[in-house]
Structure 1
Amino acid sequence: MRTEEIAAMALERLDNDRYVLSNLLFARIKELGAGATPLVNMKITKHKLADIAMREIAEGKITLESVESIPTNA
């Protein structure tokens, strides 16, 4: 599947809200960078963390429960 298709699927899952998508991506990339295990069949050593996080969102493995669930300390 092409990157554009994955991004479109992820955006659709979040009601086409690019702001929410970018915040959710940022939060998940931080988790993956800190050692979290990917929820999709992609290796951290082979793929970019952003690509893994985007695929997780597109496949519905990562969802946004509420705005408070996104870490605010950067």
Structure 2
Amino acid sequence: MRVEELTAKALEVAKIDRYVLAIAVSKRADELLNGSPSKLNIDPKSIKASDLALMEIAEGLVVIKGFDKK
């Protein structure tokens, strides 16, 4: 799936705006780079951390707390 499609899906699933999504992807990517295991069956070393984080959010595997939903 292309990044644009993943972004649209993540925005729909998480019901947040794109700025909050950018923060969430950044934080999750940092977690992945610091050794957190992937919630998908994908080797974190085979894909960029930001792409993996976006995929996890788009699949609804990462909960974004602290923000009001749309």
Place the TM-score, normalised by the shorter chain, in its bin. Answer: 0.7 to 0.9
TM-score by length of 1: 0.80
In structure 2, what is the equivalent of residue 15 of structure 1?
15
Unaligned runs of 5+ in 2: none
**How much does 1:13 deviate?**
2.0
| Overall identity of the aligned pairs, in % | 39
Larger RCO of the pair (alpha carbons < 8 Å, separation 6+): 2
**How many residue pairs end up in the alignment?**
67
C-alpha distance in 2, partners of 1:59/1:49?
15
Per-residue CA shift, 1:35-66, capped at 9, x if unaligned? 00010122111100011000000000001121
Question: Cα RMSD between the aligned structures?
Answer: 1.3
Q: Distance in 1 between matches of 2:26 and 2:51?
A: 12
Specify every segment of 5 or more residues in structure 1 that has no aligned partner in the other structure, as ranges. Answer: 68-74
Measure the CA separation in 2 of the matches of 1:3 and 1:53. Answer: 11
Could you tell me how far apart the structure 1 residues matched to 2:59 and 2:38 are?
12
Letter in 2 for 1:18: R
Q: Extract structure 1 runs of 4+ deviating beyond 4 A.
A: none
Shift of 1:16: 4.6
TM-score (norm 2): 0.84
